[in-house]
Amino acid sequence: MNRSRFGDLEVLASAPEGEAHPVPLLFVHGAYAGAWCWAEHFMPWFADAGYASYAVSLSGHGHSRRRDLLDSYSISDYVNDLADVVAELPVAPVLIGHSMGGMVVQKYLEHAEAPATVLMASVPPQGLWTSAVGLMFTKPTLLQDLNRIMGGGAAKASTLRDALFHQPVDPDDMRRYLAASQPESHRAIWDMTLFNLPMVSRMTRAPMLILGAEHDQLIPPSLVRMTSSVYGLDDEIFPDMGHAMMLEKGWEAVAVRIRDWLRETLGA
C-alpha cells in the first residue's frame, strides 16, 4: 500500500502485480472516517483482482489538508476533492462511495461523467433526514453519541460498534478503528440532511450498482430502496451485515459482487 499526496490530499494506492485493468477504481470514504477504511481489505483485494485501486481522504480527514478547518468544509468541497484526484489519474476511474462518500459521488455526477459508480450504504438523494428521525426513535443514544463525536468528543467503542457493525469485531481491530475515527464537518452533515442534496435531473447517468446491509443502523434497507427508486434500479441488500460493509465480517462477498458487476459492465 502506497501513500502519496495529490496536492494537499492524502491518496492511498494499491497496484496489481501484473497488467492492470484499463479502468482504475477510486474509493470515497464516509463520515467520521478516512481512506484507511478501504486499505484494510478492499484495496489489496481489488489489486489482486487486477484493478489499480486508489482511496482519497477528503479535506479535513486522515492526513489530508487542514483538519483544524473541518467544520468549514461542505459537500461541494468534498466533490472538488474528488474532482482533483480524478484529474490526476491517467483515465477516469470507477467511483465507489460509502455512506457520505456515496453522496459525494452523486453530487460529482452533476458536473462530470464516470465509467461506472458503486453506492455502498449510501446517503440517499433525499438526504439524511429520514435516517436521523429513525435513529431518534430507535437508537436515541447512538444519535446523541454521533452528535457528540461530530462536535469533537472522543468516540466510544460501543458507539462505533453500534453504528458500524452487526457481527463480532476483533478487539484489536476495534481499537485501531477507534483510533482512526474522527469528527465530521457540521456543514457537510447539514448539506446531506437538507441544504445540498443531489439534483438528479443534472446528473450524468453512469452505470450504477446500489448496495446495502440488512442490519445497517445508519442507512437501513428502506433508505437504500429510496436511492434505487430514484434511479430506477434494483438494489442488493447483504444479509447479516452492518453499515461498514468494507470492514464487517463477510466483506469479501461485497467485494466479489462489485468485481463481478464491474466485469459485466466494463469487460474483463
List Cβ neighbours of 229 (8 Å cut-off, separation of 6 or more): none
Q: What is the pLDDT of residue 129?
A: 77
Q: What is the pLDDT of residue 136?
A: 45
| Average of per-residue pLDDT across 157-181 | 87
| Average of per-residue pLDDT across 138-161 | 59
Cβ atoms of residues 163 and 247 within 8 Å: no
pLDDT per position as a tens digit, 14-25: 999 999 999 999
Cβ atoms of residues 217 and 142 within 8 Å: yes
| CATH number where 66 lies | 3.40.50.1820
pLDDT per position as a tens digit, 240-255: 999 999 999 999 999 9
- Average pLDDT over all residues of the chain: 90
DSSP state for residue 200 in the 8-state scheme: G
| Average of per-residue pLDDT across 91-109 | 98
Region of residue 85 (phi > 0: left; psi between -120 and 50: alpha; otherwise: beta): alpha
The whole-model pTM stands at: 0.93
Q: What is the pLDDT of residue 58?
A: 98
Cβ atoms of residues 210 and 227 within 8 Å: yes
What residue ranges in 89-147 does DSSP mark as E strands? 94-98, 117-120
Q: What is the pLDDT of residue 134?
A: 52
Distance in angstroms (rounded) separating the CA atoms of residues 15 and 9: 19
Distance in angstroms (rounded) separating the CA atoms of residues 102 and 114: 13
Q: What is the pLDDT of residue 23?
A: 98
Cell numbers representing residue 211 in the block: 448496495
Distance in angstroms (rounded) separating the CA atoms of residues 75 and 196: 7
| Average of per-residue pLDDT across 63-84 | 95
pLDDT per position as a tens digit, 217-228: 899 999 999 999
At 144, the pLDDT band (50, 70, 90 cuts) reads: low
Q: How many domains does the chain have?
A: 1
Please report, to the nearest 10 degrees, the dihedral formed by the alpha carbons of residues 80, 243, 208, 35 taken in order: 40
Domain that holds residue 148: 2-266
Q: What is the pLDDT of residue 154?
A: 58
Closest CA to 76 of 231, 200, 204, 192: 192
